[in-house]
Amino acid sequence: MTETGGAVVNGSLRLLLIGPPGAGKGTQAARLSEAYSIPAISTGDIFRENVKNGTALGVKAKAFMDAGQYVPDELTNDLVRDRLSQPDVADGFLLDGYPRTLQQVEELDDILGVDGAALDAVVVLTADTDEVVRRLLKRSAEQGRSDDTEDVIRKRLEVYTEQTAPLVDVYSGRGLVVDVDGLGEIDEVTGRIIAALASR
């Protein structure tokens, strides 16, 4: 049982975090991982960990990554299935970056269903597009990333919306979605998420 700013969580908590580029998703994932004492799991981390350890799945993933290609759904699903079988997720987890497609939603249902489990909530960080564009332009200037123009950033946000809208619709239909304003001070946003989850 974990006490988090007035919210008490009993048993395991299985969360999915969705948010547009620039909404501070990575930062909030780390915060929530600490608050609820559950591992934050991103597909990027899973890929890197398997590649680093030279696992059979990692070797396959590396071949695609080295060729500059996306790791196919089937292999991504296998990597996530393997990660969610590890002992540290017994008390819950926070997924970031998976599922990205409706096929992956079904796959995640299957992975969790083996143990009679399911997601407890899907936190959707919302953010005003113009504010996110401003934030990402500032970040790209600080990091010297001249390729991140306003047009490119707006296109990325459009793609994000197109890709995630069907997923959000599915999870909304299951009554799992918690919309949280992702803009503001980091502590404020974390507090909003924890309060929203506590009120479910």
Number of other CB atoms surrounding residue 108 within 10 Å: 21
- What integer pLDDT is reported at residue 4 of this predicted model? 40
Give the mean pLDDT of 11-21.
Answer: 90
pLDDT at 115 over 70: yes
- What integer pLDDT is reported at residue 21 of this predicted model? 87
Residue of 48, 100, 134, 154 marked active site: 100
Give the mean pLDDT of 117-132.
Answer: 94
3-state SS, 102-149, equals HHHHHHHHHHHHCCCCCCCEEEEEECCHHHHHHHHHHHHHHCCCCCCC
Domain hosting 120: range is: 2-198
Decide if 134 is catalytic.
no
Give the mean pLDDT of 36-58.
Answer: 93
Cα 129 from chain centroid (whole Å): 19
Give the mean pLDDT of 123-139.
Answer: 93
Burial of 127 (0-12, 13-18, 19+ CB in 10 A): buried
pLDDT at 195 over 60: yes
- What integer pLDDT is reported at residue 11 of this predicted model? 58
pLDDT at 190 over 50: yes
Q: Which helix (H) or strand (E) holds 181?
A: strand 177-181
Average pLDDT in the chain: 90
Number of domains in the chain: 1
Residue of 48, 81, 134, 139 marked active site: 139
pLDDT at 66 over 90: no
Give the mean pLDDT of 133-153.
Answer: 88
pLDDT at 1 over 60: no
Decide if 14 is catalytic.
no
- What integer pLDDT is reported at residue 191 of this predicted model? 97
CA distance 70 to 26: 20
Decide if 192 is catalytic.
no
> Residue 123 sits in a domain of what CATH number?
3.40.50.300
The structure tokens listed for 81 are 């299935």
Residue of 25, 31, 83, 135 marked active site: 25
In this prediction, residue 194 has a pLDDT band, given cuts at 50, 70 and 90, of: very high
Residue of 52, 138, 145, 200 marked active site: 145
In this prediction, residue 99 has a pLDDT band, given cuts at 50, 70 and 90, of: very high
